[in-house]
Amino acid sequence: MTRYYRPRNKADALAVLAEEGSGARPLVGGTDLLVGVRHRTVEPKVIVDLKGIEDLPDPLRIEDDRVLVGPTLTLGELATDPTVQEWFPSLVEAALTVGSVAIRNRASLIGNCCNGSPAADTVPAMLVHEVAVTIESVEGVRTVPLRDFFLGPRRTLCGTGEIVTGIGMRRPSAGYGSAFQRLTRRRGVDLATVSAAAGVDRTGSVVLGLGAVGPRPLRTEWDEPIDPADEDALGHVLERASVIATPISDIRGGQEYRAAMVKVLARRAVLAAADRRRREEVSA
């Protein structure tokens, strides 16, 4: 039988997670964990509820040059914050594709990352920015770049006895545009078949974040400035996206279909990001 534990402080939570090892699972939103428990695909010995911990970082803290996200920030709260909307529009677009309103009001951004799904909607949108993940355990604290956080399907650098206590997102430089695109079988209630985010800076350098086309979310960048309106230059960027993508066939889509659509969605994302950059430059 699974036990439920609700600690009041971080040290207590980390101690229980360390003691129980792989038998313990942390809980915040629970939109994935509780489904797994109900269907017996996940059978933890103890669920450690983090929502009552009083010394966790604030859900959202805005600084001059970055946004700091705590474990309890929901996707709904993220998507309605004015600073996040201004600095990270692609992340807002991605968050709003997750499930229903009810799910977004429970699911957390950190939980969406820690689930380790190759199809996690918010991850490609964060990969086009400078993002760091803070991981804590009884042994101490470490910070890793988001691009290194994912190891494979359902595997991340947050291991047994550890929790992610923060995500730091650096404010984009002036003239940076980002956008997110997603393809799925049914709007809002299914995992992505393919997803792509793009970031374009004022020089024309492009960064792509890709989801559901590999064993983990993928990131690639093109340092040489391009004009997205130049079909040849844009084609080189899209070719790189297709090279790193290693899609599989499953119930959501075939391998060849995904391989073709990753270039389509990447193109749309680059063009939308470039257009957003231009509009912001005009308004400035």
Domain boundary pick from 54, 78, 96: 54
Q: pLDDT over 70 for what percent of the chain?
A: 98
**Containing domain of residue 48, as a range?**
1-54
Is 77 a domain residue? no
The pLDDT of residue 263 is 95
**What is the torsional sign of CA 260, 265, 268, 269?**
negative
Contact between 57 and 28 (Cβ < 8 Å): no
Domain boundary pick from 54, 70, 89: 54
Is 261 a domain residue? yes
Is 124 a domain residue? no
Q: Which two tokens stand for residue 3?
A: 């036990």
Is 95 a domain residue? no
Distance of alpha carbon 140 from alpha carbon 138, whole angstroms: 6
The pLDDT of residue 280 is 76
The total number of structural domains that make up the chain: 2
**Partner residues linked to 218 by β-bridges:** 210
Contact between 190 and 202 (Cβ < 8 Å): no
Is 167 a domain residue? no
The pLDDT of residue 236 is 87
Domain at 219, CATH number: 3.30.390.50
The pLDDT of residue 284 is 61
- Integer angstrom CA distances of residue 160 from 20, 120, 136, 177, 241: 9, 21, 11, 37, 33
Find where tokens 């101490």 sit.
140
The pLDDT of residue 187 is 58
Domain boundary pick from 14, 38, 54: 54
pLDDT in tens, 261-272: 999 999 999 999
pTM: 0.94
Which ranges of the chain have pLDDT less than 50? none
Is 254 a domain residue? yes
pLDDT in tens, 85-124: 999 999 999 999 998 899 999 999 999 999 999 999 999 9
112 exposure class (CB count in 10 Å sphere: 0-12, 13-18, 19+): buried
The pLDDT of residue 188 is 52
Domain at 23, CATH number: 3.30.43.10
Is 83 a domain residue? no
Is 189 a domain residue? yes
Contact between 252 and 184 (Cβ < 8 Å): yes
- Three-class DSSP labels, the chain: CCEEECCCCHHHHHHHHHHHHHHEEEECCCCCHHHHHHCCCCCCCEEEECCCCCCCCCCEEECCCEEEECCCCEHHHHHHCHHHHHHCHHHHHHHCCCCCHHHHCCCEHHHHHHCCCCCCCHHHHHHCCCEEEEEEECCEEEEEEHHHHEEECCEECCCCCCEEEEEEEECCCCCCEEEEEEECCCCCCCCCCEEEEEEECCCCCEEEEEECCCCCCEEEEECCCCCCCCHHHHHHHHHHHHHHCCCCCECCECHHHHHHHHHHHHHHHHHHHHHHHHHHHHHC
